């Protein structure tokens, strides 16, 4: 801890040449009051300037939110000087919001806070109780000198600016993904939708799947939207829909399967369908062990038993793989009988530990 000696002018004159210190310490120059120390009008002007900066910072934070919601991105971007206007506007407004708080704080300290020079003497690191008491007193003096209690205009505008800075953070959370419940609980699967090979788009007959085989599959609506009275799904929307609906179809001996009571008719002759998306953090899975009926996630080794309702038997996944109930249509192709009954992908608070 250090001693703070406010009257350095007289002290610096005493710190002169000694035997152990052949170079005279010039000390600190005499303190010169600033215009804001002696002129109330200058002080008021500085106060208004600082509050203006904090106020403008709040405006920038609000403009950030306006730009976020109004400027186009993705397939219909708003363009400004050949650049994405959204990126430019978000960067500029957030940057200015932060900058104005910083510049306002610097201006405040330079113009209005106590700027009397002090000398701090070196001491052992451990401070005495007296020093601690003195430090607390110095801190309180600093608080008092900053005028934070006496200048409600600055204090309140600063608090407002800092509070407004939370808005961009909250608004940006919107980018984490689709809003519940539609975006989280539903995929494009629905009753009667054919299950097709994810590469060729051809529908799958049960007899085409060999014992022990795994097929990566997708909903037919991506290939034949008109069959389902659906508009073609394209671009980013298609990517998101594919990621959620991705499926694996496996065939095993019917006797090996131990379905829970509510899943007894969810398969066809030993063929079961599960989400391809790991419930840990969402890696696509297809490392399949025919003999054990285990499906292994390559990312962190979560292992699911597909003969036992997709239960987790190893690894960090907190819940089983969602299963898609399937059947066969009148033409003999595999179809879904409904959507998944639980959210696919990484777990959030719906974890049930199964």
Tell which residue, 86, 56, 298, 340, has the closest CA to residue 189. 340
Q: What is the DSSP letter of 210?
A: P
SS3 265: coil
Q: Are 42 and 146 a contacting pair, CB within 8 Å?
A: no
Q: Which of 4, 283, 313, 327 binds ligand FES (CB under 6 A)?
A: 283
**Quick count: other Cβ atoms within 10 Å of Cβ 179?**
9
Nearer to ligand FES, 94 or 278 (CB): 278
| Number of residues counted as binding ligand FES (CB under 6 A) | 11
Should residue 351 be labelled a site residue for ligand FES when binding is judged by CB under 6 A? no
What kind and span of H or E run contains 94? helix 85-111
The least distance separating ligand FES from the CB of residue 296, rounded to whole angstroms, comes to: 9
Only one of the segments 43-51, 167-175, 273-281, 337-345 lies at the binding site for ligand FES (rule: CB under 6 A); that segment is: 273-281
Tell me the C-alpha to C-alpha distance, in Å, between residue 297 and each of 172, 248, 336.
31, 13, 24
* Single residue of 112, 209, 278, 344 touching ligand FES by CB under 6 A: 278
The sign one gets for the Cα dihedral 71, 76, 81, 84 is positive
Q: Is 315 in the site for ligand FES (CB under 6 A)?
A: yes
Residue 243 within binding range of ligand FES, rule CB under 6 A: no
Stretch that binds ligand FES, among 61-69, 73-81, 218-226, 296-304 (CB under 6 A): 296-304
Stretch that binds ligand FES, among 46-54, 264-272, 280-288, 326-334 (CB under 6 A): 280-288
Q: Give the binding range for ligand FES (CB under 6 A) out of 8-16, 216-224, 293-301, 319-327.
A: 293-301
Show contacts with ligand FES in window 116-155 (CB under 6 A).
none
Options 4, 138, 172, 299; binder of ligand FES; rule CB under 6 A: 299
Residue 281 interacts with ligand FES (CB under 6 A): yes or no = yes
Burial 4-41 (b: 16+ CB within 10 A, else e): beeebeeebeeeeeeeeeeeeeebeeeeeeeebeeeee
Residue partners of 198: CB distance under 8 A and separation at least 6: 216, 217, 218, 246, 247
Shortest Cβ distance from residue 257 to ligand FES (Å)?
23
State the minimum distance, in angstroms, from the CB of residue 346 to ligand FES.
8
Query: Which one, 252 or 278, has the nearer CB to ligand FES?
Result: 278
Query: Candidates 118-126, 140-148, 191-199, 292-300 — which segment interacts with ligand FES by CB under 6 A?
Result: 292-300
How many residues belong to the chain? Answer: 354
If one asks whether residue 297 binds ligand FES (CB under 6 A), the answer comes out as yes
**Binding region for ligand FES (CB under 6 A) out of 42-50, 90-98, 136-144, 309-317:** 309-317
Among 316, 327, 337, 342, binds ligand FES (CB under 6 A): 316
Q: Which residue among 111, 280, 293, 311 contacts ligand FES (CB under 6 A)?
A: 280
Query: How many CB atoms are closer than 10 A to CB 240?
Result: 15
Provide the minimum distance between the beta carbon of 276 and ligand FES in the complex, in angstroms, as a whole number. Answer: 11
Contact between residue 40 and residue 156 where contact means Cβ atoms under 8 Å apart: no
Contact 318, 297 (CB under 8 A): no
Work out how close the CB of 338 gets to ligand FES at its nearest, in angstroms, rounded to a whole number.
Answer: 25
d(CA 91, CA 94): 5
Closest to 320 measured CA to CA, from 296, 304, 307: 304
284 burial (CB, 10 Å; 0-12 / 13-18 / 19+) is middle
Which residues contact ligand FES by CB under 6 A? 278, 280-281, 283, 297, 299-300, 302, 315-317
């Amino acid at each position: 801890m250090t001693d703070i000696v406010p009257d350095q002018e007289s002290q610096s004159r005493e710190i002169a040449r000694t035997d152990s210190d052949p170079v005279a310490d010039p000390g600190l120059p005499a303190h010169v009051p600033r215009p804001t120390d002696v002129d109330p009008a200058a002080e008021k002007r500085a106060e208004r300037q600082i509050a203006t900066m904090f106020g403008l910072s709040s405006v920038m934070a609000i403009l950030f939110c306006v730009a976020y919601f109004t400027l186009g991105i993705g397939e219909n971007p708003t363009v400004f000087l050949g650049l994405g206007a959204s990126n430019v506007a978000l960067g500029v407004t957030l940057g200015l919001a932060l900058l104005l708080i910083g510049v306002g704080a610097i201006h405040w300290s330079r113009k209005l806070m106590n700027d009397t020079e002090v000398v701090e003497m070196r001491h052992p690191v451990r401070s005495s109780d007296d020093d601690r008491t003195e430090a607390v007193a110095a801190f309180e003096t600093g608080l008092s000198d900053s005028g934070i209690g006496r200048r409600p205009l600055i204090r309140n505008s600063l608090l407002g600016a800092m509070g407004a800075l939370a808005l961009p953070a909250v608004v940006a959370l919107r980018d984490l993904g689709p809003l519940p419940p539609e975006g989280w609980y539903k995929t494009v699967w629905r009753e009667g939708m054919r299950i097709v090979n994810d590469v060729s788009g051809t529908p799958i007959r049960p007899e085409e799947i060999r014992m022990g085989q795994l097929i990566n599959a997708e909903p037919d609506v991506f290939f034949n939207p008109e069959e389902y009275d659906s508009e073609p799904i394209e671009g980013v929307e298609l990517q998101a829909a594919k990621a959620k609906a991705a499926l694996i179809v496996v065939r095993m001996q019917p006797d090996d399967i131990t379905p829970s009571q509510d899943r007894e008719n969810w398969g066809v002759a030993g063929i079961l369908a599960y989400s391809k998306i790991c419930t840990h953090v969402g890696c696509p899975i297809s490392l399949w062990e025919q003999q054990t009926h285990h499906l292994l996630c390559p990312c962190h080794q979560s292992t699911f038993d597909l003969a036992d309702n997709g239960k987790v038997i190893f690894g960090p996944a907190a819940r089983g793989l969602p299963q898609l109930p399937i059947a066969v249509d009148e033409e003999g192709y595999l179809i879904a009988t409904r959507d998944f009954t639980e959210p696919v992908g990484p777990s959030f608070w719906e974890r049930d530990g199964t």
